Amino acid sequence: MTFRAPVRDLALALSSVGHDALIARSFPELDADTVAAVLEAAGGFTADVLAPLNRVGDVQGARYENGHVTAAPGFADAYRAFVAGGWNSLSADPEHGGQGLSKAMELAVFEMVHAANMAFGLCPMLTQGAIEALALHGTERQKRLVLPKLVSGEWTGAMCLTEPQAGSDLSALTAMARPDGKGGWRLSGQKIFITWGDHDAAENICHLVIARTPDAPPGVKGISLFLASKYQVKDDGSLGPRNDFRAGSIEHKLGIHGSPTCVMLYEGAEAELVGELGQGLPHMFVMMNAARLQVGVQGVAIAERAFQQALAFAQERKQGRTVWEADGMIYGHPDVRRMLMLMKAKIEAARAICLTTGVLADVGRLAETEEERAAARARQELLTPIAKAWSTDVGVEVASLGVQVHGGMGFIEETGAAQHYRDARIAPIYEGTNGIQAIDLVGRKIGMADGAVMRALCAELALTAEHLSEVPDLASVGRRLAAGVAALERATDWLLAHRGVPSLAAATPYLKLAGDVIGGAMLGRQALAAAGSDDPWMRSKGALARVYSGQVLAQAPGLADGLMDGADDLEATPAAALAP
């Protein structure tokens, strides 16, 4: 099935989340025409170069042999074309060879990359995180020799955290870095689930590895961050001998077969300290938070790809007697159309949440006053777990609906619908499971400034509801959004008053509630922008907002009631009671 980059949707989404005002103030070299040109060019590249390799990557995948990983057929050439097109350097600082565009623009481009070929997109995605980590915490040598190569894409980056006994609990890791007596370090240990940890698409791979040092205290305070390159980097920037680490194997996974997920073995590898000793976790979280937002974008992207395939199938498949005129195709069945419109509405809501978070990242760096920068950073922190978790849940839900629209043909691998579902399923798991995102939201983020950050957001959402209520065709959306905001405020107050086990038990439904309501407001704003338009495409924004308000926002009060039931039943039910 042909992929069509959603350039028009992305342009509208960027405009609706404040990108126009951002570039007018902080990116004078950008204007609407330039944004459109970048999106069109990226859309062409992803559709023509990356999308045709998506099925190849799924069927043939990456290969492992004798400690070496070979990318899926066509991937290495596609990566070199990606680098040659400048797509790796969009938002990086020009001081390091970047183009200095907005983070939101980068996210919009990477949505198209992930939609065209999610397995491919993981490689440059992780490089972006490595760029951000080294830009903030790297040594002068690392910034001079390594960072420009990562920015250009000549070298790629990998994030190396997980060990067999230390998944989400990084305090349990045992990888060890010992001083080499010459100012450097020797790294030993095993890391698992290392995405694109080895491959043949770039001449060098830079691993950012968290490890302990011999005299470090136990727990997370004993973790430091190290840089180890596949080939040693000489002082003149040229590459030296192969470093002492290798891939021990690659995993056989449910999906994203084109992305090599490696077991990495470090056998006294040369490494450099990044940042300060004992600060490895906060340094790594620069990379982790960048990856979490990008993974949220992956959720949007795989949903978009699944939706496009389902829509095309519904417009060419004849089955039964249709209710509405659609040339007899199943698009004329009310339930099929309901699924498709709900898929589209959730995609646009999740897209807007992710791009809003990207705009906030830009404002948090570039606003004129510290007060405005601090406010943007606080809201970005609040939205990041929602962007990651809610959007990736949307990715799985929409991909599942895509299979459903296909019916029995969706369960057959040859149609491709099943691949999107399999690929989507990893996104709620990696870069911090969605349960961890929910715990972060209720345990830390909604309590910022005694709840003021969330309350300020709710006040803006309520104002959007008021504006919607003033437009006759959107009044129902405004009414349901207002009820949703009230439910979110009520749930927030309850969580702030019930810290500990009750809030942990309620974390996941609360994150869903927050995403549902914020997403409804995002759709409402697009509908307001489209109100009165004669363009059928623009008018569809109002229809999507109404479908979403009836299918999703209408459930918000009940979701708030349910999450406040507490944890009593969860605590009181032993595992034996659940056994067969």
Return the HEC string of 147-187: HHHHHHCCEEEEEECCECCECCCHHHCCCEEEECCCCCEEE
Distance CA 300, CA 522 (A): 14
Closest by Cα among 486, 477, 485 to 547? 477
**Contacts from 372-381 at CB under 8 Å and sequence distance 24+?**
378/448, 378/449, 378/453, 379/453, 379/456, 379/457, 381/445, 381/448, 381/453
Active-site hit among 431, 460, 470, 489 = 431
470 is known as an active-site residue: no
Distance CA 381, CA 366 (A): 16
Helix (H) or strand (E) holding 273: strand 261-274
Residue 46 Cα distances to 49, 81, 291, 491, angstroms = 6, 11, 20, 41
Distance CA 572, CA 564 (A): 17
Tokens of 6: 């959603």
For residue 50, what are the contacts with CB-CB under 8 A and spacing of at least 6? 78, 82, 113, 116, 117, 120, 121
Distance CA 133, CA 219 (A): 22
CA atoms within 13 A on the CB side of 136: 17
Q: Which residues are catalytic?
A: 431
